[in-house]
Amino acid sequence: MNPAYDMLKTRFARIATLGEASAMLGWDASAMMPAGGGAARGEQLATLAGLMHDMLIAPETGAALSAAEADGDWGSANLALMRRAHIRATALPTALVEEATIACSACEKTWREARRASDFAAVRPALENVVRLTREQAARLSDALALSPYDALMDGYQRGITAADVTPIFAQYEVFLREALPRVEARQAAAPARIPLAGPFPVETQRRVAQAMSSRMGLEFTHARLDESTHPFCGGTPTDVRITTRYREDDVAQALLGVLHETGHALYERGLPAAWRRQPVGEAAGMGAHESQSLIVEMQACRGDAFLGFLGRELHAAYGGDAAPYSRENLARLWRHVERGFIRVDADEITYPAHVMLRFRLEQALIAGDIQVADLPAAWNQGLHALLGITPPDDERGVLQDIHWYDGAFGYFPSYTLGAMAAAQLMRAARTAVPGLDDALGQGDASPLLGWLRANVHAHGSRLGFQDLLRAATGKPLDPSDFQAHLTARYLD
């Protein structure tokens, strides 16, 4: 036993526990807290962020990291991740961490009102403050990590992946999109007309059905909750997972598919190695890995032909009426419809990467100082038109639609498309390894898929980085051609 390493494990467990408390306060702020509690909640979150930061940068932490030794793959990986966290933390003064937390909390609250009013000018000063502080953090992290400022931010969400890795992947996809999208649109135009699902769909019934489908995918609600929020998300802790969605009585798909997406995140959290709980190596392998888990559930499994047949029968039983709209073929035409749209979260899986590419390019320019906050609405509209040939009619459907920048999350967006590509690659490997996987999904049984993910993804925690995790599970690093092959098979073959 190494006393220095034992001390570090205890300290990092305490930091993780504070992080869990912060996560629950964040969930409450989005799902339950009255509007008047926002200022105090920002101060609470800042205090917790400051406490965690102080524990990471304390002299005794640095001394222990210098003296610590750890045995085995897991222990060595855990110690390496501790050192990485310490390097990132010591690059940032506690006062800056607290100031940024308060600024992000305040900006996010202002954004909610600005988005409702489609008034970018209302949130612009708050966002300018967030960007100023983010640039300062990025510059400090850049020096400590020997990365560009933007890469240093990306490293906080998916370690080992840089803009130089992502740029050619996105460029290749842009070529595919330009060729495939018109072909898909033409094929859809020649297909039978979509039959809309006739509402209304009572919210309470939607909630019951969504939770039942989440349970079908393997989420145990003895360790999870389903609530409502403006922006669906998964939060909480591995033993107390909180997922949220938003309901519309005229649209059953938005809430249901949102819940299935967040269920994928929740299953990943629930499947992390319990023996390494509250240790760095016991956490998820990054946000690209996390998005692969939400999308393998929602897009690969639940929007696949097999599960749609089962789901249609369940929805017809819940809502009644004509059975024809709930057929597998019609649900596929409804929920796999490709359309050039303004809203990222409503985008189909072919056009979705274009929304991510736009944000990736804009936030790189913003962090580099090549554009300013005031430039964002026009740059956004021009960028979306260049990619999809459409221009948002207002800022609510343009630059104000996402929470991320207003909450200080720069460098996060690439994870969405990296995750989509990884999900296709993982699903291909799972189908090869698990005969009968689609037959089981057709019966509403996701346990073969979940069992494979538990063994090949979840159980590794963050012992492996994104690329090594894919190598272990599929035999190769990220291969965007698997994603393109999936899209071609689903939409063009």
Query: DSSP labels for 49-100?
Result: HHHHHHHHH-HHHHHHHHH----HHHHHHHHHHHHHHHHHHHTS-HHHHHHH
Q: Which of 396, 397, 400, 355 is nearest to 376 (CA)?
A: 400
262 is catalytic: yes
CA distance 169 to 419: 13
Between CA 85 and CA 92, with CA 88 as vertex, the angle to 5 degrees is: 130
Do residues 431 and 438 touch, judged by C-beta distance below 8 A? yes
Sequence-ordered alpha helix ranges (H) in 191-275: 203-217, 252-271
Burial 323-356 (b: 16+ CB within 10 A, else e): eebbbbebbbbbbbebebbbebeebbbbbbbbbb
Token output for 80? 């390496």
Catalytic residue among 60, 99, 204, 262: 262
- Judged by DSSP in three states, 226 sits in strand
Q: Which two tokens stand for residue 129?
A: 């403050």
Helix (H, G, I), strand (E, B) or coil at 234: strand
Question: Which are the contacts of 333, defined by CB distance < 8 A and separation ≥ 6?
Answer: 188, 191, 192, 194
d(CA 112, CA 34): 13
Beta bridge partners of 242: 225, 235
CB-based contacts of 32, cutoff 8 Å, min separation 6: 227
- Omega cis (within 30) before 200: yes
CA distance 424 to 290: 14
The total of other beta-carbon atoms located within 10 Å of residue 40's CB is 10
Return the residue matching tokens 């189908």.
431
The DSSP bridge pattern shows strands 240-245 and 224-228 to be: parallel
Residue 411 to residue 304: CA distance in whole angstroms: 30
Active-site residue set: 262
